[in-house]
Structure 1
Amino acid sequence: MNLYHIQSTVHGVNRVASFLEDNYIGIAWSGTGDLEQAPPELWKEQLVQHYRLDESELASTLATLHMFANLMQDGDYVLISDNEWTYVGDIGDYYYDDSTGTENDLICHRRGVTWLGRIPLAELNDKVQALLKDSSTLAKFEHPVSQAQLDRGLAVGIAAEATNSLSTGVDEATIQAAIHVLKEALHSEEEELRIRAATAILQYAKP
């Protein structure tokens, strides 16, 4: 399991709200077409044909496309940020959405995301702060995910969300049981288990 950070500003437009509301993350360079339908050796041809990139930019873009389409895996984690918060998501599969066109300012390369919660920027440790400061479009956390220490902040956010979910039709006893599971799961030695155990129950509590 890996952790990534993706820039949420694309062509000068902040996409945080869109990513959160529509449950996805994405990158530009839509002119390449569906990355799953073409071998990687053709990606370079498409980039050269559609974009003006020098050799350095071309190499960087190819690396980003490869990371987004191939290296990221279902079940990895991703971070996006605004001025106050970092949002943590569980990544799904890659897909290409050209339903609104393929202009350069559109985001067609996408991955579905289940958003798990948010953490104040000020509460992130130094390793995660360094990841967020990476200027790359997409950056990988080069440490074991457990060293990100995201679960402690998420625990507060998810528990608060559960407390506010009574209107969904789930009885209070069930929500309290979910919070209990969350607290118990926080004692697991594996961060993935700690987060997933709580998330699975609280996702069930959503309408």
Structure 2
Amino acid sequence: MEIFQLKTQPEGIERVSSFVNENFICIGYSELDDLTNKNKDEIREEIREKYKYEGSRLGNHLGNVNAFVNTMKEEDIVLITENDWVHIGRVGGYEYDCINNEWGMYHRRYVKWIGKAPKHELNEYVRELLRNRSILTKFKHPTDIAELDKVLTNGDISSNRNSIDYNIVEKALNILVSALDSDNEEIRVKAAIGLLQHNKFN
């Protein structure tokens, strides 16, 4: 398991509320096509072609995108900052959806939010990670050094592992959202109840 910090302004738009309330994260780079199963070299060429970046600028953006698509794995931990709080979540797999999502939110990962912690209670190693200016940064120390269990207000890192397939959860939620527009009133009501129950327990 690895720990990452992620900035919450893909394409320059603040999305922290969406990330927390809708259980996902994203990185922007909406000019890029679906990166599923693409390796680092293929992603480099995609960025060079679509954004015309070269040199160190290309390297920096490649680092962000490749980390989100390939380095980050399911069950890894992501940290995002909201004012004086840090939200702590466990990520699902990479997904690409340019049909159902707004500009800037095509490259996504489902997140199961474990809890949150006051920023000032995090140790210096984690605060150093959060100060990093890159869009996405991996914690360079062993995971246990972060001591996140000590500061979580609800939940803990070790006991919140969930064997459910996050991609299936995301697809199920999309089906419920689509069902809200059904011509059948009973289907609409059941979809609404399902979504409300999901939000209640997440």
- TM-score, scaled to structure 1: 0.72
> Which segment is superposed worse, 90-99 or 37-46?
37-46
2: CA distance, partners of 1:152 / 1:196: 17
The CA deviation at 1:101 is 6.8
Aligned pair count reads 166
1: CA distance, partners of 2:160 / 2:24: 19
2:150 to 144, 152, 158: 152
Contact kept in structure 1, 2:125 and 2:146, CA below 8 Å: yes
Contact kept in structure 2, 1:6 and 1:79, CA below 8 Å: yes
Is the alpha carbon distance of 1:4 and 1:22 closer, same or farther for their aligned partners in structure 2, counting shifts above 3 Å?
same
1:133 match: 131
Contact kept in structure 1, 2:73 and 2:92, CA below 8 Å: yes
The CA deviation at 1:66 is 1.4
Is the alpha carbon distance of 1:39 and 1:122 closer, same or farther for their aligned partners in structure 2, counting shifts above 3 Å?
closer
3-state DSSP of counterpart to 2:99 = coil
1:49 match: 49
3-state DSSP of counterpart to 1:30 = coil
3-state DSSP of counterpart to 2:151 = helix
Amino acid at match of 1:157: N
Is the alpha carbon distance of 1:88 and 1:43 closer, same or farther for their aligned partners in structure 2, counting shifts above 3 Å?
same
2: CA distance, partners of 1:76 / 1:6: 12
| Structure 1 spans left out of the alignment, 5+ residues | 159-185, 187-191, 198-202
Amino acid at match of 1:193: S
- TM-score, scaled to structure 2: 0.73
Is the alpha carbon distance of 1:91 and 1:101 closer, same or farther for their aligned partners in structure 2, counting shifts above 3 Å?
closer
> Which segment is superposed worse, 106-115 or 33-42?
33-42
1: CA distance, partners of 2:158 / 2:52: 45
Contact kept in structure 2, 1:31 and 1:102, CA below 8 Å: no
1:64 match: 64
The CA deviation at 1:52 is 4.1
Is the alpha carbon distance of 1:40 and 1:148 closer, same or farther for their aligned partners in structure 2, counting shifts above 3 Å?
closer
Is the alpha carbon distance of 1:39 and 1:134 closer, same or farther for their aligned partners in structure 2, counting shifts above 3 Å?
closer
2: CA distance, partners of 1:22 / 1:84: 20
1:36 match: 36
Is the alpha carbon distance of 1:195 and 1:151 closer, same or farther for their aligned partners in structure 2, counting shifts above 3 Å?
farther
3-state DSSP of counterpart to 2:36 = coil
3-state DSSP of counterpart to 1:112 = strand
2:105 match: 107
Is the alpha carbon distance of 1:102 and 1:24 closer, same or farther for their aligned partners in structure 2, counting shifts above 3 Å?
closer
Deviation per CA, 1:101-130, whole angstroms, max 9, x where unpaired?
785xx1211111000001011111100000
Q: CA RMSD in A?
A: 2.4
3-state DSSP of counterpart to 2:58 = helix
| Structure 2 spans left out of the alignment, 5+ residues | 163-197
Is the alpha carbon distance of 1:43 and 1:194 closer, same or farther for their aligned partners in structure 2, counting shifts above 3 Å?
closer
1:86 match: 86
Contact kept in structure 1, 2:75 and 2:161, CA below 8 Å: no
The CA deviation at 1:193 is 2.9
